[in-house]
Amino acid sequence: MRLTVPIIILLTLLNLSLVLKVVVSDGTQLDGDKNTGCVELNNLELLKARDEIMILRIILDGYREGNSPTAHLQQALEEIEELKNVLAGYKEANTHRLRLSAYTARPEETNDDVEHTAIMQTPRPGWTVAVSHDLRGWLGKRVYIEGFGVRMVSDLMNARYTRSIDILVPDVEMAMSIGVKRNVLVTLIEPLIQDNPLESNIIELMEDDLPLSPWEH
């Protein structure tokens, strides 16, 4: 659709140029008393055609200027920069350093009901995480974990832990390979999503911020 307008304008210019040629040739073939009247008429048509050509050229120049790829690129870069600034400010205020560990959905690591989390969701390795009781306000919200990406907080850890997060993995071997990590950066995403209309872009930026961990390839 973007090419329709310039094509129409160019075709119009071509038609007008053909009209001008016809007008000039017709004027040279007429003689006698009718010659003066025809010349005057042809001159008026010539001026009119030239004015139309000038107007169409102005429109075409304006169309080209308004659809400049450089202008669109600059606007996109400015919007991305603004989004990054919003994200940086939010992350600074809502990022925490937590103790990180991993667990499996076994009774000895959870409770007797291994089919449901604390908010009655089905546990999903690679998505479900549990947090310590001092962070229970995060239940039902998404977080971005450094090195692991976006996860859903849907369970609680043992009451003896504080400022901790536990990620659900498929098996014990993977849990042991992750071990215990301290001072892992964890950002609460959900309030940002509720307040900002650019939520999908922000989540993508968060997911792309750091590479995936070796356990997620």
Q: Between 18 and 152, where is the model more confident?
A: 152
Residue pair 142/70 in contact by the 8 Å Cβ criterion? no
Tokens of residue 34, six digits: 């009718």
Residue pair 102/204 in contact by the 8 Å Cβ criterion? no
- The pLDDT tens digits for 110-132 are 777 788 888 888 889 999 999 99
For residue 212, name the pLDDT band (cuts at 50, 70, 90): very low
For 77-190, where are the E strands, in sequence order?
95-103, 128-131, 142-145, 149-156, 164-168, 181-188
For residue 214, give the DSSP letter: G
Whether 197 has a pLDDT exceeding 70, the answer reads no
Measured CA to CA, the distance from residue 56 to residue 173 in angstroms comes to 72
Ranked by mean pLDDT, which of 6-10, 24-28, 97-101 comes out on top? 97-101
Which residues, at least 6 apart from 202, have a Cβ–Cβ distance to it below 8 Å?
83, 86, 87, 189, 192, 193, 196
The helix, strand and coil proportions of the chain, stated in percent and rounded to the nearest 5, come to 55, 20, 30
Q: Between 42 and 188, where is the model more confident?
A: 188
